[in-house]
Amino acid sequence: MLLNALVDADVAIVSSKPETTRKAIRAVLTNLDGSFCPELQDFQMIFVDTPGLHKPKTLLGERLNQISQEQISNTDIILFLTPADEEIGPGDRRIVEQIKQKSTRKVVALTKIDKVEKVRLRDKVLEIVEVFGDVDVVPVSAKCDDNLVELIRTLVEYLPEGELLYSKDDLTDESWQSMVAEVVRQAALESLDDELPHSLMVQVNEKDGDTIFVNLFVERDSQKGIIIGKRGENIKKIRRSATPTAREIMQNDDIELSLSVKVAKNWQKDTKLLHKFGF
């Protein structure tokens, strides 16, 4: 949610479920004409939303960790997000220990500050400094648009000077196919909640006229039934939820989505299938 709020566009999938992000997604924030903030100097900032570092249980998990490590090694600033209403758990501490070994400047965005009282917020900031050491901590709320300018101001201080890498109107380098596929996957996450198998993979197959054909892959036949639902109720709900945003992406109010559910057996552990899906 924070990334989308900063660039004022839906470029990254939003979900409370872990391991939602499956690739490095770039979002571009350009402030050449002062449209983001007149008081800040001209800048172009490229955010890279990476999969979360975790203990992998599948070949897919290993590939996601590789993606994250590669991106972390090629950034000017490491921006670590941690919610104000949750404890810093053992998994977070393991990640912190990994990134502390990097010489790259670190900034912590303390998110969801709208959910906690100011007294608790102060204690949280102190806890982060204790865990991280030398780090800038910026409390923010993407939902309430609170303190986002201060976060950008902090990041701008550490940006190196250079040429523009994207045009001033670019918000992301994601293809429309990738963006539509992520919209459908997010709709599935929101619609099915805990019933949704983590193994869901979504790909755009083709576009014919105003119809975009999308394949939803799962690993077992039993999971296929969950996605489709009784009398097709679940798949219809997913389509209804995803269609408005897909139309915004395509800038076409006539766009319709045709969703098909298929089985790709154990794709998270299959080298050939992972390659097919872009991992």
Taking only the tens place, the pLDDT of each residue in 164-221 is: 999 888 888 889 999 999 899 989 988 886 666 578 899 999 999 999 999 999 998 8
Domains 2-157 and 176-276 share a fold: no
Q: How far apart are CA 92 and CA 69, in angstroms?
A: 15
Beta strands across the sheet bearing 105-111: 77-83, 105-111, 136-139
pLDDT at site 17: 55
Residue 206 C-beta-side C-alpha neighbours within 13 Å = 2
Q: What does the block give as tokens for 11?
A: 């470029």
By percentage, how much of the chain surpasses pLDDT 70?
Answer: 92
Tens digits of residue pLDDT in 69-127: 777 778 899 999 899 988 888 878 888 888 888 888 999 999 999 998 888 888 888 88
Are 57 and 48 in contact by the 8 Å Cβ rule? The answer is no
Does the structure show a pLDDT above 80 at 13?
Answer: no
Are 230 and 210 in contact by the 8 Å Cβ rule? The answer is no
- What are the residues whose beta carbons fall under 8 Å from the beta carbon of 184, sequence distance 6 or more? 202, 214, 216, 238, 242, 246, 257, 259
CATH architecture of 176-276: 2-Layer Sandwich (3.30)
pLDDT at site 150: 92
Are 203 and 182 in contact by the 8 Å Cβ rule? The answer is no
Give the residue extent of every domain in the chain. Answer: 2-157, 176-276
The class (CATH top level) of 2-157 is alpha beta
Q: Which pTM value belongs to this model? A: 0.77
* CA-wise closest residue to 141 among 108, 107, 115: 115
DSSP state of 141: B
Tens digits of residue pLDDT in 25-35: 888 999 888 87
Tens digits of residue pLDDT in 223-253: 899 899 999 999 999 999 999 999 999 999 9
